[in-house]
Amino acid sequence: MPKQLVDKFGRVHDYLRISVTDRCNLRCVYCMPEEGMQFEPDHRILTYEEIAEIVKVLAPLGVRKLRLTGGEPLVRKGLDQLIGMLSKIPGIEDIALSTNGIYLAQFAGILKEAGLTRVNISLDSLIPERFAKITRGGDVGRVLSGLKASRSAGFDPIKLNVVLMKGMNDDEVASFLRMTYEEPIHIRFIEYMPIGYEGSGWKAGYLPLEHVLDTCRRLKWSFSRCEDVYGNGPAESYRLEGAAGTFGLIHPVSDHFCGSCNRLRLTADGNIKPCLYWSDEYNVRKHIGDSSAIEQLFFKALDAKPETHEMAKALSGEQQNHIPTVRRMSQIGG
C-alpha cells in the first residue's frame, strides 16, 4: 500500500493550503494591522516552480486538494501560470482559491481556463461604508462584480466567507441569508479567531454562530441540515426552505473540528505549518531539489501535529498546552 500522510491520531491529510504571498491590497481588521506590517522580500517567497515541486512530492502521498491563499493571492502576478502547473500534476483533482474578490472580475475567466476549480470570496459586509471600515478601504462593489464574473466563468460551487463579528456585522446575517434564496451561493459564517493576537482584545468581537440560527428562528424562516457542499470542509451546512443556495457554520472556537482535520499549510516563505493556531513550523524550502528530504519533513511535521488547537481555552483564559503563533493570518495563509 502506498505511503499516506497520516498523523499519530489517524487523521489522513489529503489537502494542502498554499500561501503564495503575504501581501494584500486590503487591511481587514481581523487579519492585518493598519500599519507596521513587515512583508517578506521577494527573494524569500517560494517561486511557482518550487511550489510545484513540493506538490509533485505530495501528490503520490495522497494529496488531492489544493487551495491557494495569501495575503491576497491575486496581488501576485501570473497566478494562472501556477494554476496551470499544478493542474497538470497527476493526482491533483481540485484547485481552489481564497480571495477578497477585488481583482476577481479581471481574472475569473483566465483562472478558470488555467484549471482553477472553485473560488471562496471573503465578504464581511454588504453595506459599502461598513465594508470599507472592516477592510480599511475596500470597495464592496468590486467584490460583487467579482462574484458575478465568477458565476459567468462557470465556477461551482461559489462560496462567500463571512467572519461574524459582534457589534460590527452581526446585524447583516439576514441580508446574507437572503442571497441564498436568490441564487446558488453558499454563505459560510466563520467565528472570529485569535490568530496572531497578543492579549485578549479579540474576545470583544467574538460571537458564537448560534446567532445565525437564532436569526432564522426570529424571522420564522424554516431551515434544515443538508448534505455538505463539496469542499465545505468543517462547515455544518443548512438550507433555508426553498433556497437555491445554502449556508454553513464554521466554529473553530466554540466547537472545534480538529478530529477530522485533513489539512496542512505551506506558507509563502516556505514553511510547513501542521496547525493554523500553533507556532510550530518546518522550513521546507532548503530541501528543494531533494524529494526524499521534502517527504521526510512533511512526515516530521505531521508527527508534531497536536490533537487540537485549544482556541476555546484562549477564549476562556485557561492555560494552553502549546505556544500560539504570533504570525498574522495574512502571513500564514488562513
Per-residue confidence (pLDDT) for residue 75, from 0 to 100: 97
Taking the model in full, what pTM does it have?
0.90
> Percentage of residues in the chain with pLDDT exceeding 70?
84
Who wins on pLDDT, 233 or 91? 91
Give 291: exposed, middle or buried? Use CB within 10 Å, 0-12, 13-18, 19+.
middle
User: Could you tell me the CA-to-CA distances from 65 to 121, 130, 169 in Å, in that order?
Assistant: 18, 34, 31
Q: Residues 47, 48, 52, CA angle at the centre, nearest 5°?
A: 120
**In whole angstroms, what is the distance from residue 67 CA to residue 290 CA?**
24
**In whole angstroms, what is the distance from residue 85 CA to residue 170 CA?**
40
What are the tens digits of pLDDT across the range 120-159? 999 999 999 999 999 999 999 999 999 999 999 999 999 9
Task: Count Cα atoms within 13 angstroms, Cβ side, for 316.
Answer: 9
Q: Write the class of the CATH domain 15-332.
A: alpha beta
pLDDT level of residue 324 (50, 70, 90 thresholds): low
Pair 223, 245: CB distance under 8 Å: no
Per-residue confidence (pLDDT) for residue 313, from 0 to 100: 47
- Rounded average pLDDT over 66-85: 97
- Rounded average pLDDT over 17-36: 88
pLDDT exceeds cutoff 70 at 246: yes
What is the widest separation between alpha-carbon atoms in the chain? 59
Four-CA torsion 268, 272, 276, 280, nearest 10 degrees:
-120
**In whole angstroms, what is the distance from residue 154 CA to residue 31 CA?**
29
pLDDT exceeds cutoff 70 at 198: no
Per domain, the residue ranges of the chain are 15-332
